[in-house]
Amino acid sequence: MDHLERVNSRPGGVLGRLAGKVTERVVETVQPDVVLSHVDVDALVDRVDLNRALARVDLNQLLERVDLDQLLEHVDLNVVLDRIDVDRLIDRIDVDRLLERVDVQSLVRRSGLPQIVVESQTRLAGSLLDLVRRQLAGLDAILNRGVTRLLRRVPAPRPRTVTGEYAGIVSRATATGLDVLIIATTYTLGLAGVNLLTTSFWGVEVRHALPATIALAVFAFSYAFGFLAVAGRTPGQGIIGLRVVRAGGGAIRPGQALRWVLAFPLSVLPAGLGFVPIVFQREHRALHDLIAGTAVVYDWGDRPAELPGPLSAFLARHEDEGSP
């Protein structure tokens, strides 16, 4: 009897083989659905130690085996969002801590707001400047129309834009006034700076009128000649939208810029009589323009030089009425 028990207790014994075959036969004949229908799942789950079960789960391997795209395809986001209590979610957000972690400067740069603001300000400044230019060009057109009727000239056809047309007395006088203001302001600030330096270091102050007048004349000459020779316009002319060109067209040469600047006082000194031809001559050339062989035209850069809309319509209507 002891021998039989020892034989059967071995892994390869008769009883072991018999139990294995019985187990295989039972597994083959068992229907899982029938078995599960007799299982109390709630009681089974209650007996499961979730903490121990989760401790044995390798989350990294689990997440690696999850197909997020396939998972999201089976998720109804509308249903999920409908079940979210937005008010409770917002109440749990610490806005102060959230803002502390936000790089506002980087966010603003990436949004492009600085460029938008700069472009908007540039467009606004350009629009305001063009508005002033149109009013000045409009006054020139009204004055030119009056002079044309006074001298009984045949009016020239008025184009839609005045780019490249000869500038009138109003625009030219305004540009000259701006240049005088710029020269006077710049020179005054420069003289004050020189006086500050000489007084601080040597205790000497520039008070003599003659040296100051000579310095002003040299500065004004350098200002006008430098800008005309390089850019074909002074800062005042650039603001108003004017350009000095050769009488026959084209950019002026440095020699013409020099003659223009040197002859300018001849238009000023005899009670400003040298500017009178601007009003009555068709090309609106002053005495210094005639000497230098130059003319002044409207030039607003990349934007067309235009007259005010109502004035353009008025001139066009009267030209149509006067045409045969």
pLDDT score for 186: 94
**Strand segments (E) across the chain:** 242-246, 294-298
Closest among 289, 220, 300 to 260, alpha carbons compared: 289
> C-alpha distances in angstroms, 158 versus 77, 217, 298?
66, 40, 14
Kindly report the backbone phi and psi dihedral angles of residue 245, in degrees, each rounded to the nearest multiple of 5, phi listed first.
-130, 170
| Eight-state DSSP code of residue 48 | S
pLDDT score for 324: 40
Angle between helices 209-231 and 169-201 (to 10 degrees): 130
Distance from C-alpha of 162 to C-alpha of 315, rounded to nearest angstrom? 13
Query: Buried b / exposed e across 86-118, counting CB within 10 Å, b at 16+?
Result: eeeeeeeeeeeeeeeeeeeeeeeeeeeeeeeee
pLDDT score for 82: 81
Residues 297, 285 contacting (CB under 8 angstroms): no
Residue with tokens 């850069």: 301
Closest among 315, 274, 317, 324 to 146, alpha carbons compared: 315
Distance from C-alpha of 108 to C-alpha of 38, rounded to nearest angstrom? 65
Residues of the chain with pLDDT below 70 are: 1-16, 19-20, 22-28, 30-33, 35-36, 107-126, 155-160, 203-208, 309, 311-324
Distance from C-alpha of 320 to C-alpha of 164, rounded to nearest angstrom? 23
Strand partners, 254: none
pLDDT score for 96: 77
User: Measured on CA atoms in the order 40, 43, 46, 52, is the torsion positive or negative?
Assistant: negative
Closest among 285, 222, 210 to 257, alpha carbons compared: 222
pLDDT score for 311: 66
Distance from C-alpha of 297 to C-alpha of 128, rounded to nearest angstrom? 21
Distance from C-alpha of 244 to C-alpha of 254, rounded to nearest angstrom? 12
DSSP codes joined into one string, 6-45: HHHHSTTSHHHHHHHHHHHHHHHH--HHHHHHTS-HHHHH
Residues 316, 280 contacting (CB under 8 angstroms): no
**pTM score:** 0.61
pLDDT score for 76: 79
